A and B are shown apart, each in its own frame.
Chain A
Amino acid sequence: MIVELGHFALILAACVALLQGVLPLAGTWGDRQRWQSLARPAATLQFLLIAASFAALANAALTNDFSVKYVANHSNSLLPAAYQLASVWGGHEGSLLLWVLMLAGWTVAVAWFSRSLPQVMVARVIGVLGLISTGFLTFILTTSSPFERLLPAAADGRDLNPLLQDPGLVIHPPMLYMGYVGFSVAFAFAIAAMLSGRLDAAWARWSRPWTVVAWVFMTAGIGLGSWWAYYELGWGGWWFWDPVENASLMPWLFGTALIHALMVTDKRGGFKAWSVLLAIGAFSLSLLGTFLVRSGVLTSVHAFAADPKRGVFVLLFLAVVVGSSLTLFALRAPKATLGGKIGLVSRESMLLINSVLLVVATGAVLLGTVYPLVVDALNLGKLSVGAPYFNTVFVPLMVPVVFLMVPGGIAHWREARWAELSRRLRVPAIGAVLAAGLMPFVMETWSWSGLMGIALATWVVLGLLLQIVDRFQKPGRIPISFWGMHLAHLGIAVVVVGITMVKGYEVERDVRMAKGDTVSIGPYSFELGPVMEVTGPNYKAARAEVKVTKNGSTIEILHPEKRRYFSSAMPMTEAAIDSGLFRDLYVSLGEAIESDPPQWSVRVFYKPFVSWLWAGALLMVLGGILAVCDRRYRKAEK
């Protein structure tokens, strides 16, 4: 019964979404105040209805109601409660429900925090969000309802995919979705600005904090996903250039460019059309990501079921939303006034170059992601694009982006003088060269790419220290957003160090071991102890004991596992990791090899600085949060 109520609430939500999409927007023509004022209550009502619907599904999962097809397919009575809850978004239908729940949540947040905005603007923004929500709710109700019953009911559920049974995966999708969906707010602001016909700087000011919040969620989601892949998949990798990963990276890159372009639009009145295009692009890429993930047009490790009907719907929706907004863009952008004049060397020009580079990098990732599909569509055969392409194309584009972060931060607005700029850049430049020059002496081996990475990271860190010192010499209170920006930029430097060190100095050993055998990497040696059979709530596992010693003294006992979940035939690897600030020791247990004495295939990794990747992401997240906490945004609301 509760399930049917949930379904009904979702149908009502779709009706409310349609009203929320149509009436306030219609009210902006002819200035019907009453219609416009419907936007806020409609958004709140829609959120409550979707939340009720989500709660109904969660309740079914938690109470093991296997007469609900979705629950029977994604949950199991043996599953721990936290994962039963996570199973609500573990499959296609439920994850879409989470999508619309978040969209409604963002809309309500906009409704609440936009008291200072003109009503007509709010009506437009909430109206656009209502239309998007209508599309997604229709999609759920017509092709992917999670409330379908299964009669007769299943005795027990098929269980959540074992790969997803992990704390990291419980929060990774909601984070990522918050990011994806959050870009809809910047998108709605951009559309509202174009609808108003006045493509001025006001919309940029309003959408800045929203964009940063969405970007923060996206960064956290990508970081978590990468971390999860690292410790859960058992092959020690942290980024695979998988289509689904790329689907999240592309909006992130656009979002990063958007944050910076919006700053120029807000502060200098420049890049108006460019900011609108980036806002449309960031959300379009979020939709495209949803399409790629949900339609099954690409093969991926995330391997979602392919259903052509769903694919057609999402593609049509994508075509309508993006097509109409780009048409609107083509009509309105030519009327956008240009901002102040920009010198060839100025903060604006460097921010522009950087955002263009980020867009080009996104294009390169997009090309690599859809290339197999394009080649197949042209009947030129089947192929897949792998990491070598992405690394070759992506890295050279990112190097100048990171490089320009420093002069971009130091240069003056409008027009910077070469002589002054180059004088001030002397310290970071010398520091970077010194750091790179020391590398071959500190490390046993070196490579050009390694030198480049270290030089870049030093360059960024010294550059931001220089800016902080400069700022202290100026009068006035330092805003929190200043610290936010530098923290986020520091995060980039930390990630660069992580990537450089892992790529340059990781060591992998793939060995067969029997009890008592040892394998060593540098000063560390790993001794395989007994392998025991252990039983978890819904799996059995072989758990090995690996003693790690450094120069003879024991530093850690690791317990890698090979799990077999009752519900699926696929064995799962649980790697054991000894994490440290400067290195991770990573052991994963492979297949048992039938022999006498019994042997196991074991993979051992030494990964220097790998935790810096996620520390960097965390710094970016914190930086973003600080930037949003800035007083001027709170002031703007009052």
Chain B
Amino acid sequence: MKKFLIPLALFFGLVGFLAVGLNRDPHEIPSPLIGKLAPEFALYTLAKDEQKFSPKDMQGKVWMLNVWATWCVACREEHPVLVAFAKDNQVPIVGLSYKEVQPQDEPAGKKFSPEAKLQLARERSAIWLARHGNPYVLSALDLDGRVGIDYGVYGVPETYLIDKSGVIRYKRVGVVTPELLSQTILPLIQKLNAS
């Protein structure tokens, strides 16, 4: 009798692990960038001037980098949360507009020049932010996605928290929720500001 119970015992062991696994998010992957210096870049911003933004400009401040795009559906869900959060002035939020102009935007057989891409991205993003609200102090334009590669972006939206010395302290893949802000991000901001 006993040996015939072994399969049952093994099975319930497996079910136990599966049950715990259900409450975990397999997509939540610790970023290797946490604890490392935020990769450098210099990108044009939405503002219509030739000034480029670089993470160095934020030295000495705790700040948030939010990856977004007008074509990103999940960003529409996240956006009101960010707009409300920005009103509290807890932390400056810098936008990183990721691959705003997609290849299918280009007319058949043609490729946009970098200037045309930049112009289109600025126009579209401005309209979108005017409609949905603008939580960003500024928004840098990563048109070819190279900065995204440096930051290991694999989905939009993503959010990074960077400390006074330019070290990435936190990364969120996916939508930032009010709970996440109040339970994880805000305490971390306060800790980082205090240090």
A residues bordering B, Cβ < 8 Å? 273, 277, 280-281, 284, 291, 295-299, 306, 308, 311-312, 315, 318-319, 322-323, 326-327, 329-330, 333-334, 366, 370, 372-374, 376-377, 382, 533, 535, 540, 564, 566, 569, 571
Q: Which residues of B contact A (CB under 8 A)?
A: 1, 4-5, 7-8, 11-12, 14-15, 17-30, 71, 99, 102-104, 108-109
Known: A370-B18, A377-B17. A334 touches B1 (CB 8 A): yes
10 new A-B contacts at CB < 8 Å, known A295-B22, A298-B21, A373-B18:
A277-B7, A280-B7, A323-B12, A329-B8, A334-B1, A366-B14, A373-B20, A374-B17, A533-B109, A569-B71
Q: Is B103 a contact of A298 with CB atoms below 8 Å? A: no
Q: Is the CB of A318 within 8 A of B15?
A: yes
A566 and B11 contact, Cβ closer than 8 Å, known pairs A299-B26, A376-B21: no
Within 8 Å CB of A296, what residues of B?
26
Compute how far the CA of A316 lies from the CA of B183 in the bound complex, rounded to whole angstroms.
31
Task: Please determine whether A535 and B23 come into contact, CB atoms closer than 8 angstroms.
Answer: no
Residues on A with beta carbons closer than 8 Å to the beta carbon of B7: 277, 280-281, 326, 329-330
Residues of A within 8 A of B99 (CB): 569
Query: Known contacts A370-B17, A566-B104, A569-B102; is A326 also within 8 Å of B23 by CB?
Result: no
Determine the chain A residues whose CB is within 8 A of the CB of B21 once the complex forms. 297-298, 370, 373-374, 376-377
Q: Which of A273, A308, A326 contacts B11 (CB 8 A)?
A: A326
Report B-chain residues with C-beta under 8 Å of the C-beta of A319. Answer: 12, 15
Taking a contact as CB atoms under 8 Å apart, the answer to whether B11 and A322 are in contact is yes
The answer to whether B29 and A571 touch across the interface, beta carbons within 8 angstroms, is no
Q: Would you list 26 pairs from A and B whose C-beta atoms are within 8 A, ordered by A residue?
A: A298-B26, A299-B26, A299-B27, A306-B26, A306-B27, A312-B22, A315-B15, A315-B22, A318-B15, A319-B12, A319-B15, A326-B7, A329-B7, A330-B4, A330-B5, A330-B7, A333-B4, A366-B14, A370-B17, A370-B18, A372-B26, A373-B20, A373-B21, A374-B17, A376-B24, A382-B29
A327 to B4, CA, bound (A): 9
Q: Which of A273, A298, A322, A377: most chain B Cβ within 10 A? A: A377
In the A-B complex, the 8 residue pairs with the smallest Cβ-Cβ separation, listed nearest first, are: A377-B20, A373-B21, A326-B8, A330-B4, A297-B21, A299-B26, A533-B109, A333-B4
A328 to chain B, nearest CB (A): 10
Contacts of A382 in B (CB 8 A): 28-30
**Which of chain B's residues have a CB closer than 8 A to the CB of A571?**
103
- Who on chain A is nearest to B26 by CB? A299
Identity of the chain A residue whose Cβ is nearest the Cβ of B73 in the assembled complex? A158
Complex Cα distance A318/B15, Å? Answer: 8
Residue of B nearest to A310 (CB): B22
Chain B residues within 8 Å of A306, by CB: 25-27
- Please name the residue on chain A nearest to B25 by beta carbon: A306
Task: Compute how far the CA of A564 lies from the CA of B104 in the bound complex, rounded to whole angstroms.
Answer: 7
* B8 CB, nearest partner CB in chain A, Å: 4
**Residue pair A540, B104 in contact (C-beta under 8 Å):** yes
Smallest Cβ-Cβ distance to A303: which chain B residue: B27
A281→B104 CA distance, assembly (Å)? 48
Chain B residue numbers with a CB within 8 Å of A273 are 4
Known A330-B8, A540-B104; judge A297-B22 contact (CB<8 A): yes
Residues of A within 8 A of B71 (CB): 569
Q: How far is A298 from B21 in the complex, measured between Cα atoms in Å?
A: 8
Question: Shortest beta-carbon distance, B103 to chain A, in Å?
Answer: 6
Q: Considering the complex, give the chain A residue whose CB is closest to the CB of B7.
A: A326
The answer for the CA separation of A125 and B11 in the assembled complex, in Å, is 24
If A333-B4, A334-B1, A382-B30 touch, whether A297 touches B104 (CB-CB below 8 Å) is: no
Distance between A477 CB and nearest chain B CB, rounded to angstroms: 41
With beta carbons under 8 angstroms apart, the residue of A281, A312, A327, A373 that contacts B8 is A327
Given contacts A376-B24, A540-B108, A564-B103, contact A315 B4 (CB under 8 A): no
Contact check, B8 vs A535: say whether CB atoms are below 8 A apart: no
CA distance A284 to B17 in the complex (A): 16
Q: How far is the CA of A564 from the CA of B105 in the complex (A)?
A: 11
**Of the residues B22, B29, B102, contact of A311 by C-beta under 8 Å:** B22
Minimum CB–CB distance from A412 to chain B (whole Å) comes to 29
A297 contacts which chain B residues (CB < 8 A)? Answer: 18, 21-22, 24, 26
Distance in angstroms between the alpha carbons of A535 and B104 in the assembled complex: 12
In contact, B5 and A535 (Cβ under 8 angstroms): no
**Residues of chain B contacted by A315 (CB below 8 angstroms):** 15, 18-19, 22
Chain B positions within 8 Å of A533 at CB level: 108-109
